[in-house]
Structures are given as C-alpha cells and as structure tokens.
Structure 1
Amino acid sequence: MEIPSLFEVLLFLAAFFTALLAYNNWLISISTSGKRLPPGLFPWPIVGNAPFLGSKPHKTFHELAKKYGPIYRIKLGSVKTIVLSDFKTIKEALVKQRQIFGGRMRFETYKYVQNGASNIFNDVSTQGEVWNKTKLEMLRHLHNLSTSTTVRKKSNEFITDDVIYMLKELESASVTNFINPEKTIRKAGANTMCMICFGKRYAYDDKDFCELLQANEVFSAVVSAGAMIDTMPWITVFPKYRQILETYKKTMKHFYKWNLKRVEEIVTNLPDTNLMEPTNVVTSMIMSNGNGKITTKYMEQIASICSELFGAGQDTTPTAFTWINNYLLLYPNVMKRMKKDIKETVGDRLPTLFDRPKLPYVDAFIHEIFRHSSFAPTSIPHGTLKKTTLCGYDIPQGTMVFANQYSVNRDPNVWPDPEKFDPMRFLCKDESGELTMNGEAVENLLIFSMGLRKCPGSESAKTWLFLATAILAQTCELMQDPSHPPSLDAEFGLTLRPSCLRMKFRLNTLKTFQ
C-alpha cells in the first residue's frame, strides 16, 4: 500500500477545509435561495453522497426512487446531481426538453476522448454547431447502411461468419474445462464493429486487433471509475488515481490514432468510389464527399465517428450477449422453445436477418433480457445546458442528470411482477391470431436511453443479437458448471456483467448447415 507524501497530505487537508467552507456557504445559499429543489439525501462535505451509493449504485438508486419518487437529488463529490426514475419523467426531460437536458458535464476524462472532439462526450456548449453536424453525419451514414438491401445481405453474411467463428472458438476452449465466454464474445463483437466501420475483420490474435481491445478495456475501466476522478478531481493527488488518469490519456490517444490509421489505409487503397455502393461507414462518408479531395481534417472526422461507434457498440452488444448465455443456462425451457420455433420456421438452414419477423419469440427473449438484466442501468450522465423546471422543481444549469433505466424496467405499474423473467410480456397476437412483438411493451423498455443522446447503434445491436441468438439456439447445447451455477448477480461498471458465468459449448448441428 502506497503511503501519501507529506505534501499530498497537506494538499488534501487544504482541499478538505476549502471544500468544508464552500459546503457551508452552499447550505446557506440553498436555504435562502427560494428555489424548490427535488427531495433527496443530505450530502457530506467533499465526497457528497458517493460513499452511500455502495458497490451497486443502480440498486441504491432504485431504493431511493421508492423513497423519494421519480425525481430526487444527490451530490457526487462537488457535483449537484438529479436522478430520474420513471419513464414519464425521463421522457419529459430527455425528449420534450432535449435541448436543455441534452448536454454533458465538462469532466476531465471527457477531454481526452477523440482528442477532445468526441460527439458522445461533448455538446453544443463545447463544440457549437460542429456537434450537431457531426451527430447528424453519424446518424445519416448509419441509416444509409441499415436501409440498403445490399448492405443488409452483406451484414447477414459477415455477422453469420463472425458468430460461427465465435461459437467454434468457444467450443474449442471448453472441451476440457468450463469457461467464462465473455472475452471471446467481446472479440466477436469488436470484429463486427470493425466490419461496420472499416469493412474489415481481424484474427483474434492479430496484434493490431489486440491493441484495439486493450484500449477499449482501459476506456471502459476508467470511465467506470471516472465518476470518482471527475466529481472529486482532488483525488488525483494520490499516485494510484494520478496513474490511472495518465494511463487513460495515453490510451485514448492511441485509440484515436488506431482508428485514423485504418481510415488512411482505406482512403489510400480505395478504387473509384463512384462505382461502389458503400458497405461500411468509412466508404459511405468518402462517397458522400463527392469528387472533392479527402482532406486530413475530413479523415480525422471520419476516424472520430468510427471511434465513437466502436467504443459505444463494443461494450453494450457483447455484454448483452453474455447475459443471453447466462439466462439460457438459468431458463433451459426458453432454449427449447427457441429451438422448436427455429426448426419449424427455418428448417434445415441457418437463420438470417430476414427471418426476424417470423421468429418473434427470439426477439421477445432478447427484449426481456434487456429489461430484466438492465445491463445499462443508468444513462451516461447528462448535463443541463440552462436552468429549467421539471415536475415542478427548479433544476439549475450545470446539474448532472442520470436516467435511471433500471427502475424504469422494474416499474410494477408498467411491468406486472417485474422480478419475474417472462419473454411473453413482449408478445401479443395480431389480427390473424399469430404471435407478434408487442409494440407498447417495446416502447416502454429503456436500455439505449432516448432523446438527443439515444444510442445511435441501437438497431445495429439488436440486429447482431438477433442473429447471434438464433444461430446459438439452433446449433448449440449449453452446459453449466455445477460448481459455479449461473445467477443474476452482477458486477457494476460501465455496464452490468454477470459475476459468475462458467459454461461449456457443444456445436451439435452446425456441420449440417455447412
């Protein structure tokens, strides 16, 4: 254990007493301001309510929502924060007041994402109209790729190839031992994002690919712990946290350069783009530039967008698929039902993306995992760009805002018996009596946020998860480790991950389809 130097101790004490004085002034100011603030916890000096949240803050948020209602206030370090905990309140803020609640906090760790030009971690207050243009550019190219029939067919091919390769790797690794499949699943998800962004996939042991995965792991770990660095910046006086921040800075720089290098390679080797239909984000953006010269600045913009998409998609989608495996071990009857539906609908071929409307139970199963696991329990924190009112309460400018998705997905007024895992809640019968997805239930689910900050890759994630789940159910048998049975326990981080998952994979029928 490192012992702080005398200078560090003195610096900490100075910060403590300065914060104590500021805290006292703050208490006086709110008691005389005449503002009607949301109810909430009494904060401690310097640390605020951070220690109270514990190792599973999503559950603490949920319990506080039961006590204080759909909007309450806390303080994280020195940062005034509100937590929104029901669908109506979150929609009122993030959709109806999207221009006010669509900001980000000006945190230290955000400055180093995409050389400070991040779309996800910036807003109009830091980048002006550049932010709006970049956001629209990202959404436009994702839309173009998702609506093209040619691209959908190509997507089906490369996702299928990636999933089969992943399942073979998992089977090979689990021949003699039970394994945690998470790392292999993350490699498959990363390869899919590489195809979406650059039209290229990598071998799992490729040096460049491993560097990319390592950078993303550091990013996830630091952003997860970043709440402490950002809301209590004085903590970097301690060597441990100072080193974390320095490692993070270097990793973010490397991650950006990695993406820029891929873009430069494509630009250098690209043939006549007028003869091509874009099948990835880079070629789509190049072609949209017409016959104009591809400048260094434009390549940097492309690299930034690809970095954003990769960073956003490489964590959420693999985490969701890891939960899918966990739930299939917990509920083997669900696996049997999916196998039966796929056999009756697809027959003796592999499922495709075009089978999705005909396999509603698979889709319902995935959506119920979104709800029941709530693996993204809160949104990435928003920041208010102006003072406003919400639910009759005064919300100051610069307030940090969490959308408590975990509580939304467990609201008993919306989800009867919310602790029960039941894919059927996402199904209903159409006019002909056939099962179909329940649109109202899908609308009430919250996992990819909403408004200006809704995850731009949510549909891509659902596409990958559908095909991966259908192929897994059709071709595999899953076995749990008797000494480490699956559970719903989760480790809190950037996303929630199963805390104890060990299993074996057996590809019983894959050879039939090759």
Structure 2
Amino acid sequence: MILVLFFVVLILFLFAKYISQRPKNFPPGPPSYPLIGGILSLPESDVHLAQEDWAHQYGHLVGVMTGPSAMLFIHGTPYVQEALKKAEFQGRPRTVDITERSYGKNLGIFFAEGRRWQVSRKFTVKFNRSFGIENMENILQLEMDELVQKLSGSSERGHVYEVKELFSELAVNTMWTILSGQRCTTQDKRIKVLLDNLSLAFRSGRPGAGAMTMLLTVIPQLRRFHTGIQTQRKGTYLLQEFFRESIRAHQATLDAANPRDFYDAFLIEAQNARNTGVDTDMWTEEDLITISLDIFSASYESVNSTICFTLLYMILYPDVQTKLQQELDQQLGSTRPTLADKQRLHYVQAVIHEVFRINTIAPIVAPHRCTEDTTFQNYFIPKDTVIFMSIWSLLHDKQIWQEPSKFKPERFLDTERKFDLKNVQLNFINFGLGK
C-alpha cells in the first residue's frame, strides 16, 4: 500500500513538473515550480515596473510559465515596436475575464480576432469618418460649456467638487451622446456602479498579469469566492443591460434614411447584412453591446485620467501653466480654442504630449496572444503564449528621452519652438500600434 502511494505521488509530481516545464529555447525568466509554474513571481500591481526589474535580471524578453500556459513580457523600445507589428502576435487571449464580458464569444473590437475584428473595426472607422470631427467637437463643446458653468457657479457658492467626478461626467456624456444620441449623468446608478468597476480594473496596471489573476484563470472555479470579481461581474451585467435597453429603443424607432448616431448606423448595417446574407452573424445585438462596452471602458478612463493629470501638472508646474496661457492669449485672444486652432498652438500640443508620455495612462498594452508557433529575437514562442508589452518602457527610454522622469514639455519642441511632429512620429507611441 505504501509502495503504491509512493508511486502515485511520484507520478503526480513528475506530471506537475512536466506541464510546468519551460519550452526549449523559450526566453529566460523567474523559476518555475511544479504545477503552478512561475505564478508566484508575478506582481499584483505596477507590472511595467516589475518588467523593468526583470529586464535587468533576465533581458528584454522574459518568459514565465503558469502551469501549462506560457506568458511573454516584452520590455524596451526596439523589441516592443517589433512585437507590435509581428503578425503572429496579433491574437487576443481567451481568458475567463475576457470571454465573460463578451458572452463567451469572439465579439467586440478590443479582444476579437480575424474576420469579426476586421468587420467591427472597419465599421467603427467608417462611422467616425461619416459622423465627422465637427459633430464630435460640437458635442464636446456643449459638455465643456456645461462644465464651465458648473465650476463658475460653484466658486460663487463656495462649493467644492471632486475633480474626478466632474470629468467622469464629461467623458461619459460625450461618448454616450455619440453612441446613442442621448445624454446621461453619473447620477444614473447603473452606469456609475459599472464605470467605477471599469475604472478600478483599468487602473490596476495589471491587465491579466497578476498572480491572483492568473491563479483564477488557471482555476476558474475559485472566481465564485473572489468578492472583487463578483462585484465586477455584476457591474458588467448592469452596463450590458443598460446598453441593451437603449439598443432596443433604437430598433423600435429606426429610420434607415436618417441615422441619428452610432447605434442607428450599426442597426442599418445589420439590416443590410441580413438582406445580402453576408456576415450576418457579425451584426448581432451582443456584438453591439460588446462594442459599446469596449468603447465606453477605454474612453471613460483614458479621457478622465488624462484631464485630471493635466490639471495636476499645471498645479505642480505653474511656469508651464503661465506659458500655456500666454500662447492661448497670443494666438486666440478671448476666443475659445477649437481643433482648427491646433496647428497654431505648439506649446499646448507639447504639454498634452508630455502629459501622455510621463503619465502613460496604459503602461502595458492590452494583452496579445501568439496565434501560432513562431520565433522572436531568436527565441521560440509557442502558440497561445499570452504577451504583455510595455509602452511605459518606450516613453521612459533614457536613450530617447533625456531625464524621462521629469516633466518637460519643451522636449516636444524643435529649435524654432515649433511642435516637433517628426519626433512624435518616430518615438511616441501612446496606446500601441497594430491590433
């Protein structure tokens, strides 16, 4: 009996060790342990900073095994730029987190693949062009007018606002007006609950890379005991139902000759697909809900955080604020700036880009997946490896940006104090290239 038990334990140990074994010529990385691999080495936050430490220890490509699954962390300007353009790295991981938000299917824009991703992206780009920058700017101007009025009134009454809430409402209303033609406020409990959850998930700085996240991915049954995930799941459901309600209201009042917004445009394309029999499975209600979730989650957090951090840097660097105001006064006088004035506002553009650079809203690109066995930088990368690329490493590269930890808008100006577009095109990547 003891001998049998010994052999069973031995076989289980060897099996666990085998499935956690590093593939031949896979990039170096933290040590792997039987069954769990290198899960315990994964950081729960600030993945981009952990990647920088790993780059010094293991190199710019770091491989981590999580049980039978492989993860690749890429750090450094030339390596990230090459990886973002590599065709085999354009897949999206099929984790529980991602499939749950898209009804267990390959839906949306951010995490879709293949033909469906092409169709969704093409439609979104087409809508943006037809809807027009001018229409979007008009919506934004209305929101800005209301924000200014609110701030002006609050100063007279001595009222204090939470800055994040002010700009959250601006971001939400701008995107919701474009999507549905309607305004809403963050006082709507359904949308506020979910946006708070989306904000928490986005700000974590670990898009599916933390030890706990990976453990829950490897053993999804544990998710039911994780209160944070249950709260986020509930929030996602609430927003999905919020979108569904608006979409069905649009269906009931749709006039194909007079599209009002993004939802109308999508529903018209869905009708055309049914009439022609082409790509009919790509224009479903679930598709539109998931696309809405993609657009809302990304735009809400990025817009809100960027504006808040811009205000913060203006407070911390009053000399920059003074220069910025001087340029606005010299170029525009008392008139309000529009997108048409962009080419004249060189210092304003420099300040905006420096805020993007130093703060790096999304330090890690949304996770990618290797779609087939391939090689990269002479290393073997197996199919289905989940890939994390550090945009932060590009925007804080000491070989490109002098004193990258300092806030210096002048780095984006040329010798004539003009906005240096060439420098931006060569070295500035904010949210990623490729898919």
Choose which of 257, 261, 278 in structure 2 pairs with 1:280: 261
Give the secondary structure class of the aligned counterpart of 1:450: coil
| 1:43 maps onto 2:43 in alignment | no
Structure 1: how far apart are the matches of 2:379 and 2:109? 27
| 1:162 maps onto 2:146 in alignment | no
| 1:343 maps onto 2:345 in alignment | no
Structure 1: how far apart are the matches of 2:383 and 2:307? 38
Please report how far the alpha carbon of residue 405 of structure 1 lies from its aligned counterpart in structure 2 after TM superposition: 1.0
Structure 1: how far apart are the matches of 2:44 and 2:12? 22
Tell me the equivalent position of 1:115.
103
TM-score between both structures, scaled by the size of structure 2: 0.83
Please report how far the alpha carbon of residue 44 of structure 1 lies from its aligned counterpart in structure 2 after TM superposition: 4.5
Give the secondary structure class of the aligned counterpart of 1:369: helix
Aligned 1:397-416 pairs, distance under 5 A: 397-416=383-402
1:280 maps to a residue whose letter is: D
| 1:221 maps onto 2:164 in alignment | no
Give the secondary structure class of the aligned counterpart of 2:363: coil
Aligned 1:49-448 pairs, distance under 5 A: 49-51=39-41, 53=43, 55-75=45-65, 79-95=69-85, 97-98=86-87, 100-117=88-105, 118-120=107-109, 122-124=111-113, 129-145=115-131, 148=132, 152-170=133-151, 176=158, 180-205=162-187, 207=188, 210-222=189-201, 224=204, 227=209, 228=211, 230-233=213-216, 234=219, 237=222, 240-241=225-226, 243-271=227-255, 273-274=256-257, 276=258, 280-288=261-269, 298-428=284-414, 435-448=418-431
Please report how far the alpha carbon of residue 214 of structure 1 lies from its aligned counterpart in structure 2 after TM superposition: 1.4
Please report how far the alpha carbon of residue 256 of structure 1 lies from its aligned counterpart in structure 2 after TM superposition: 1.8
Structure 1: how far apart are the matches of 2:118 and 2:124? 10
Give the secondary structure class of the aligned counterpart of 1:221: helix
Give the secondary structure class of the aligned counterpart of 1:301: helix
Check whether the contact 1:377–1:405 (CA below 8 A) recurs between aligned residues: yes
- Describe the superposition over 1:258-294 as per-residue Cα deviations: whole angstroms up to 9, x where unpaired: 11221222232344x43x4x56322333455677879
Check whether the contact 1:114–1:256 (CA below 8 A) recurs between aligned residues: no
Check whether the contact 2:37–2:64 (CA below 8 A) recurs between aligned residues: no
| Matched pairs, number | 413
Please report how far the alpha carbon of residue 397 of structure 1 lies from its aligned counterpart in structure 2 after TM superposition: 0.9
Structure 2: how far apart are the matches of 1:161 and 1:18? 68
Structure 1: how far apart are the matches of 2:344 and 2:37? 52
Please report how far the alpha carbon of residue 93 of structure 1 lies from its aligned counterpart in structure 2 after TM superposition: 1.8
Structure 2: how far apart are the matches of 1:281 and 1:17? 60
Check whether the contact 1:48–1:76 (CA below 8 A) recurs between aligned residues: yes
Change (3 A) 1:385 1:167: same
Check whether the contact 1:229–1:236 (CA below 8 A) recurs between aligned residues: no
Change (3 A) 1:324 1:43: farther
Structure 2: how far apart are the matches of 1:328 and 1:18? 63
Structure 2: how far apart are the matches of 1:420 and 1:78? 42
Please report how far the alpha carbon of residue 360 of structure 1 lies from its aligned counterpart in structure 2 after TM superposition: 2.0
Moved more, 196-205 or 366-375: 196-205
Structure 2: how far apart are the matches of 1:246 and 1:39? 35
Please report how far the alpha carbon of residue 82 of structure 1 lies from its aligned counterpart in structure 2 after TM superposition: 1.2
Structure 2 regions of 5+ residues with no counterpart? 1-8
Check whether the contact 2:108–2:120 (CA below 8 A) recurs between aligned residues: yes
Please report how far the alpha carbon of residue 403 of structure 1 lies from its aligned counterpart in structure 2 after TM superposition: 0.9
Structure 2: how far apart are the matches of 1:187 and 1:19? 54
Check whether the contact 1:281–1:306 (CA below 8 A) recurs between aligned residues: no
Check whether the contact 1:73–1:81 (CA below 8 A) recurs between aligned residues: yes
Change (3 A) 1:112 1:41: same
Report sequence identity in percent: 22
Change (3 A) 1:194 1:20: farther
